[in-house]
Amino acid sequence: MKRVVRIEVSGAVLTFPRLCACCGRPPDPELVVWASRTRGVKLVHSRTKTWTFPCCAECARHMNEWYDGSVALRAFLVAGACIAFVVLVAGGIAEALAVAAAAIALGYAARTIARRRAAALMSPQCACAWSPVQYLGWNGTLHAFFIAQHGYATAFVDANAHRDESTPAP
């Protein structure tokens, strides 16, 4: 996998270059990235911000496939834990362990199959199988992202670079 770059852009409204953030082809659907931030100890404030990056239909497909693998793994682990608990209460420690081990093995197998399918759907231009953009969070109007596609990272920084000079802060 290619190395991701950490970038920072500033602005209340960001400009997104109309390219797929994964492969650079013309985009169609959208890719939503988000970050949450919690503040305070006694009174906890939680805020979430989302940004929508352009993405093409082909890349949306391989990202969905990858995501489905993670969902399948979680489903197997949760179901396995529930069944193992019931078996354990019924008095079978060895049986409960066997159920848990089987659920873990099946879950990881399902995830591997989904990840292989995702990899098969990728084009040579694709930056990664999973989301090519991660939103790391914000500080005031400064937003930090990890971007796997170097071309998109450069275009994104350029598109948002001159805002500070043209629009003075209120």
Q: Which spans of this chain sit near Zn ion (rule: CB under 5 A)?
A: 20, 22-23, 25, 56, 59, 126
Judged by beta carbon, residue 8 or residue 28, the one nearer Zn ion is 28
Within 8 A by CB and 6+ apart from 146, the residues are 4, 5, 6, 133, 134, 136
79: phi then psi, degrees, rounded to nearest 5: -60, -40
**Is the C-alpha dihedral spanning 161, 162, 165, 170 positive or negative?**
negative
Closest distance between Zn ion and the C-beta of residue 8, in Å? 24
Residue 157 Cβ, how far from Zn ion at the closest point, in Å?
20
The minimum distance between CB 155 and Zn ion, in angstroms, equals 14
| Structure-token pair, residue 6 | 């950490």
Contact (Cβ atoms closer than 8 angstroms) between residue 107 and residue 80: yes
User: CB 29: neighbour CB atoms within 10 A?
Assistant: 15
Which CB sits closer to Zn ion, 131 or 160? 131
What's the closest the beta carbon of residue 33 comes to Zn ion, in angstroms?
15
Smallest separation, CB 26 to Zn ion (Å): 9
Cβ proximity to Zn ion, 55 vs 99, nearer residue: 55
Q: What backbone phi and psi angles, to 5 degrees, belong to 165?
A: -75, -40
Residue in the block written with tokens 């948002």:
160
Residue number, 22 or 73, with CB nearest to Zn ion:
22
User: Which lies closer to Zn ion via its Cβ, residue 22 or residue 84?
Assistant: 22
- Residue 88's H or E segment, with its range, is helix 57-89
